[in-house]
Structures are given as C-alpha cells and as structure tokens.
Amino acid sequence: VPAPAALPAPTLCCRNNSKSSPLQCILTGRWTNDLGSNMTIGALNEKGEFMGSYHTAVSATTNEIQLSPLQGSQHNTNKKSQPTFGFTVNWTFSDSITVFTGQCFVDEEGKEILKTMWLLRSRVDNLKDDWKATMVGINVFTRLHSKK
Ligand code: BTN
C-alpha cells in the first residue's frame, strides 16, 4: 500500500479556524474588561476612525457613573490582521479623561483579546497638585456575546 502523501500540519489561524486567511481581530462590537467595564465600538470609517461608548464599572470619583462617549482610531485598516489602536474616553460624569492604547490579538483558542494600557487624567485645582493627577494601568478586554 503506498504511503499517503504528506499533508501540511494544520495551524491555528482564525476565529472560524479556517486555515488559509490570517488571524483576524476586529474592534467593532461589544467588549468587557477585567474590571467589569463594558464598551461598544462602532463601525470604522475609511480612515480607521471609530466612535463608541464606555460604561465603566469603577470610578476614582464618588459621582454617579454614566455612559460616556469614546473616540479612537485603528492603525493600518485592512493591512495588518492584529491592529494597534487608541481611543479617548471623555467621562460625562467627571472632569477626567482617559486615553487607552493597545493591540487587538487573537489568542491560542482563536478568541479576540484587546491588550491595553491607559492613562487617566483627573482635574486638580492647582499646579501644585499636578503630581497626583495622572493614574496609569492596564486593562484586558474580551468580546461580549461572541458568535461562534
Ligand atoms: C473617573 O473616575 O473620573 C472616570 C472613570 C474612570 C474609569 C477608569 S478608566 C481606566 C480604568 N478602566 C476602566 O474600565 N475603568 C477605569
């Protein structure tokens, strides 16, 4: 009996596990992070810009948390499959602004994951307090209600 011809080993590829197209990570949709915050990212325009909304689970203030708008952009739309991106959240319930920067990855199970770092700038009353006005951290986002 002739030996079967060698077949290429299957490699992890895409969300739908097909073998030919590159790892695809798409920002548009609903996401949740390790703090329990949720965000929705809208459709990207032709320049890779997007808008959305952010509902934080936590706040540095005692103000009542409200849904807040976000604006951002993704690098190299349609050129690279695991794109870098950044967005700004202008909090409607505080005087603060947060900027996030990160990259959209596909993990070993084919799940999309956003690895981000953020800077949260709070408003302080005077220059002397500037030193305590900025916090830094990381957040990891996974897709909410992902379709299989
Ligand atoms: C504020 O406290 O003034 C506004 C809310 C800030 C929430 C921060 S932004 C970084 C971190 N990630 C979250 O999902 N929430 C907190």
CA of 67 to the centre of ligand 1 (A): 11
Task: Give the domain ranges of the chain.
Answer: 29-143
Q: Is the pLDDT of residue 145 over 90?
A: no
Sign of CA dihedral 122, 71, 66, 145: negative
Of 9-13, 67-71, 116-120, the least confident: 9-13
Q: Which helix (H) or strand (E) holds 146?
A: none
Residue 105: what are its φ and ψ, rounded to 5°?
-115, 160
CA of 96 to the centre of ligand 1 (A): 9
Q: Is 59 touching ligand 1 by the criterion CB < 6 Å?
A: yes
- Of 125, 123, 120, 121, nearest to 139 by C-alpha is 120
Q: Is the pLDDT of residue 122 over 70?
A: yes
The residue behind tokens 């500037």 is 130
Cα gap 87→107, rounded to integer Å: 22
Q: Is 56 touching ligand 1 by the criterion CB < 6 Å?
A: yes
At 13-45, the pLDDT tens digits run: 444 454 555 788 999 999 999 999 999 999 999
CATH code for residues 29-143: 2.40.128.30
At 40-95, the pLDDT tens digits run: 999 999 999 999 999 999 999 999 999 999 999 999 766 778 999 999 999 999 99
- Structure confidence at residue 10 (pLDDT): 41
